[in-house]
């Protein structure tokens, strides 16, 4: 989907009113040693995707499913959604990037509260922490929120979105000086793009821009 020009925004969602209750714990024991040490790379696919990725969550977002959501760009949830990394409750720990993403998003104190206790964090609290982009009333409101966000993103330059997503993701772990340099070079790259010229011209002419992603 990341290379499909007909796809502007990707939405990750569960089924039957539930995002996910987590992984198949019983099946984990059938995997040979070192067969699961690369899970963070697999689950990190939304982060590497050049297109915006939205996670739309209802009821439960536990374990590897929550880790997948954490790799998405936007996380929307209903107010009754619970999010958790409960692995410690069965003598394990998150293995698909969850502990490290939570740590970087909310800091050490809250990360330890969530990961070391395995507790289920209500969506409003997770939103207050900065783990969720928005919290809505119910499934119907979630549908509308996802559609509204997707429409907004689809109105923007695909090239600009892909570029700024990469700058933000790479800048998170870089020094401030390196991040400034990364941002500056990306800015210069966009200055030569068709989309920037089109966007500026549309601004001058007070019309809607027609972006091509080039």
Q: Which residues are catalytic?
A: 67, 87
Let me know if 207 is exposed, middle or buried by CB neighbors in 10 A (0-12, 13-18, 19+).
exposed
The full length of the chain comes to 214
DSSP designation for 71: T
Q: Coil, strand or helix: which one is 201?
A: helix
User: Is residue 76 a contact partner of residue 142, using CB atoms and an 8 Å limit?
Assistant: yes
CB neighbours of residue 171 within 10 Å:
17
Q: How far apart are CA 51 and CA 213, in angstroms?
A: 11
Question: For residues 165, 171, 172 and 176, what is the CA-based torsion angle, rounded to 10 degrees?
Answer: -150
Q: What is the SS3 assignment for 31?
A: coil
């Amino acid at each position: 989907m990341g290379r499909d020009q007909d796809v502007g925004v990707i939405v990750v969602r569960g089924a039957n009113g539930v995002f996910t209750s987590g992984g198949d714990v019983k099946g984990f024991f059938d995997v040979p040693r070192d067969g699961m040490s690369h899970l963070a790379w697999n689950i990190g696919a939304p982060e590497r995707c050049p297109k915006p990725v939205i996670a739309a969550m209802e009821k439960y977002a536990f374990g590897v499913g929550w880790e997948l959501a954490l790799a998405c760009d936007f996380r929307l949830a209903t107010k009754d959604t619970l999010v958790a990394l409960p692995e410690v409750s069965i003598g394990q720990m998150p293995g698909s990037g969850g502990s490290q993403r939570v740590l970087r998003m909310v800091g050490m104190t809250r990360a330890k509260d969530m990961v070391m206790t395995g507790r289920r964090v209500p969506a409003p609290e997770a939103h207050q922490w900065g783990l969720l982009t928005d919290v809505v009333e119910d499934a119907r409101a979630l549908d509308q929120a996802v559609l509204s966000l997707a429409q907004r993103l689809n109105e923007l330059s695909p090239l600009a979105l892909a570029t700024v997503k990469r700058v933000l993701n790479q800048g998170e772990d870089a020094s401030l000086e390196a991040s400034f340099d990364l941002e500056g070079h990306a800015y210069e790259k966009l200055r030569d793009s068709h989309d920037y010229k089109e966007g500026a011209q549309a601004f001058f002419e007070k019309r809607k821009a027609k972006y091509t992603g080039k």
